[in-house]
Chains A and B, each alone.
Chain A
Amino acid sequence: MKLLFKPFLLSLLLASFSQAQTLTVYTYQSFTSEWGPGPQIETLFEAQCDCDVEFIGLEDGVSLLNRLRLEGQQTSADIVLGLDDALIEETKALNLLQAHGMTFENLDLPYAFNDDQFVPYDYGHFAFIYDDQKVTDVPSSLKELVEDSELSIIYQDPRTSTPGQGLMLWVKAVYGDESAQAWQQLKEKTVTVTPGWSEAYSLFLEGKSDLVLSYVTSPAYHMTWDETEQYKAAEFSEGHYVQIEMAAALKTSKEPELAKSFLQFLISTEAQAVLASTNWMQPVLKDAETPAAFDKLITPKTIYTPSSTVYKNRKQWLREWRSSAS
């Protein structure tokens, strides 16, 4: 009995002991994967902070909000990384975050943005990606995709994933009160709805669908690593919904200063270069280094919804999606 208890207690002890010097970052799965920015960001920051950065990957961005709501004051996170501009108001209403005390003059964002708790670290326009070796009649607008196209799609669950939520807001921006009908039409083309971006994109690359919801910047990855231009983003005439990804520090953090310096590090020159070339998103720092392939990407019109509007309506819009897409 004693013998059995020991490793149990030991592991508890170790857990509580190591927490003292660790910076725990809740983020989304693709950020922490070996080809994502996580490992490099970790190495770079650990070299200057003399601390241990621990990334914990959830399904996707919206899960971060759900988690914070569930764990509240008991959360062990010091940083949440991967919420987006749409969720700012709702997250701040939980009253769990601390002010970062930074200014963003040197940043270049898709629209004017300022916040005292959230730090933007990259952004991107959502887009449907296709393989031009396989797909020819690419829709040129969201309406064409929804109403006329026969291509199959995979997208992410708006309840867990920020791209999925982006599509929900995109449809709302284009269709307004007729969104429910649009979702019903989309449902016919939907192969599957995944909890996060990683699964959706993997399934697409395996050939399970013609289109996948991702980012305008995604083709740059294939140009850089696979040396192919066959993957392209479909440009839609209504404009593309934009997402600014954010990080924030928690009030309950035992390492508030360390957390702040991590947020500062995120918009440093070195971190920004890593984010552009591993997270495959546009950097926010004005003269950040980007992969050469970024020059070949489409530059679409921007659509976005203020986060206060999202906060007011999100629950109801989610319900609408849930009922019409099922």
Chain B
Amino acid sequence: MRLLRYTLLTLAALSFIYPFIWMVSASLSSESGLGDLVLLPQGFTWANYETVFTKIPLGRAFLNSAFVAVLTTGLVLISGAMVGYALARMQFAGRNLIFYLIIFTMTLPFQITLIPNYITMVKLGWVDTYFALIVPFALNSLSILLFRQAFQSLPQALIDAARIDGAGELRIIFQILVPNVLPTALTITILTFMGLWNEALWPLIVIRDEPTMTLPQLVTLFSVGGRAEGQLGVKIAAAVMLALPIILLYLFFQKHFIRSMASSGLKD
């Protein structure tokens, strides 16, 4: 019985891990060795990566994605902490209204706002600029709620002591409170960064200009359009480039990844 359990678990684990190993190995194989399903590359070559980099501006897209994801995640942390603090520790008219608006926003299907948001980008002249990729995502409801919850659990004495020392509200938030809720900040960082790094639909809508494209967008267009010219290895190499950073982060922060996703109940 015990053996059966381990056998099933191992088979399942293999079915989740093996495709990724095959992908890396295939991306390093020559086109003729590609049909094989072994773990090591057949006819080892870097050619697929060279082709990818010469055919599509992958390096540029990689930097775009990193820039957008890092900057936006920073903004989400700042805006989330500010709004979360106001909701958690201050009394003001309209506080409950804001709270309910946040809940409402979270249940709103994105299909409703997709086209008007695109039109907003057109009217602001943000199409084909980084603004279109950053500003709409610079604040999110989940991070506000998570910060609010974390700040509520801190003792008032912490804030009072800082006030006596003459600290302003922003200093209280970022120098006193945020360092006390680092696990929450880490959860928000992971979820936001991962979502931004993987986002493909919105960039497809607002970016038409190749030098501004993000990595998932470029890889999508490359796969759907004819530019891979049926060269499988090249397509897979592009996919590896997209997967690698997030997998490396995952290997470092595995526990936090799992905990943050489980506690938020989010997907994608």
Q: Do A and B bind each other?
A: no
* Chain B residues with a Cβ under 8 A of chain A: none
